[in-house]
Homo-oligomer: A and B are copies of this chain.
Amino acid sequence: MKLYSYWRSTTSYRVRIALNLKGLAFDTAPVDLVAGAQEDPAYTALNPVAGVPTLVLDDSTVLTQSMAILEWLEAVHPEPALLPTDPVAAAQVRAAAMIVAADIHPVNNLKVGGKLKQMGHSQDVVVAWMNDWMTRGFAAFQALLSEDTPFCFGDAPGLADICLIPQLYNAHRWGCDLTEFTRLTEIEARCLALPAFDAARPENQPDAA
C-alpha cells in the first residue's frame, strides 16, 4: 500500500496511526501541501478534493477521505478493533471522532487559514480562530468520553484516540491552552508511548522539515 500524505496533515496522521495499530506496512508518498503539490493534475486525478491522505492499495484501488479509509481498514483488517462491536457503543466512539473530523479540523486546515489570510487577516487572527474552534471542540470531546479509562473509551486506543492525538499535535503547534483538558492530555501521553502512535508522529515522517 502507498499512502500519499503530508507530515503535518492531521488527517494523514490519523491513517498512519491506524495502519500501524493494524500492523500493516505501507510506503509514504509525500505530497507537499505548502508547495501546492496537491493541485498537480496527476494527483487530483487520484484525489479530486486535492487533499491528503490518499491510500492506494496493491491492486491500484484508490481510497480517499481519512474517515472512509479508517472504516475500510476496520472492515478488512478487524484486529485490533478500532470500534466496539455493539452499535450504540460504536456510535459513541464515532461521535467523539466526528467532533474532531467534522467540527474541529475542517475549519482549521491549511485551505481555510490561507483563505482567511487572502481576506486580509493576520497570522495572529488565524491562530486565534484555530484555537477558538479547538477549545470548543475539545470541551465537547472531553464531555463525551468514558470516565477513568486509560484511553478515550476503554483499555485500548480506538477511532476516537486516532482522531484526537493528531488534533492535539495541532493544538500544541498553535499554542492552544489545554489546561482544562487534562483528561485529553493524559490520554495523549499514553498513546504517544505506544510504538504505533510514535512511528506516526509528524516529526518521524520522511518529509518532515
Residues of A within 8 A of B (CB): 48-51, 57, 61, 63-65, 67-69, 71-72, 75-76, 87-88, 90-92, 94-95, 97-99, 101-103, 105-107, 112, 115, 119, 121, 125, 129, 132, 137, 139-140, 143-144
Contacts and interface: CB of A to CB of B under 8 A. Distances in A.
A147 to B, nearest CB: 14
A99 B87 CA distance: 24
B140 A49 contact: yes
Given A90-B71, A119-B125, A106 B95 contact: no
A56 to B, nearest CB: 12
Contacts of A95: 63-65, 68
A112 to B, nearest CB: 6
30 contacts: A48-B139, A48-B140, A48-B143, A48-B144, A49-B137, A49-B140, A50-B140, A57-B88, A63-B91, A63-B92, A65-B94, A67-B67, A67-B98, A67-B102, A68-B95, A68-B97, A69-B91, A72-B91, A72-B94, A75-B87, A75-B90, A76-B87, A98-B101, A102-B102, A102-B105, A106-B107, A107-B107, A107-B112, A115-B129, A115-B132
Contacts of A119: 121, 125
A143 B76 CA distance: 25
Given A101-B102, A102-B102, 17 more contacts: A48-B139, A49-B99, A57-B88, A65-B94, A65-B99, A67-B94, A67-B102, A68-B92, A68-B95, A71-B94, A72-B91, A72-B94, A76-B87, A106-B106, A107-B112, A115-B132, A119-B121
Nearest to A101: B102
Contacts of A48: 139-140, 143-144
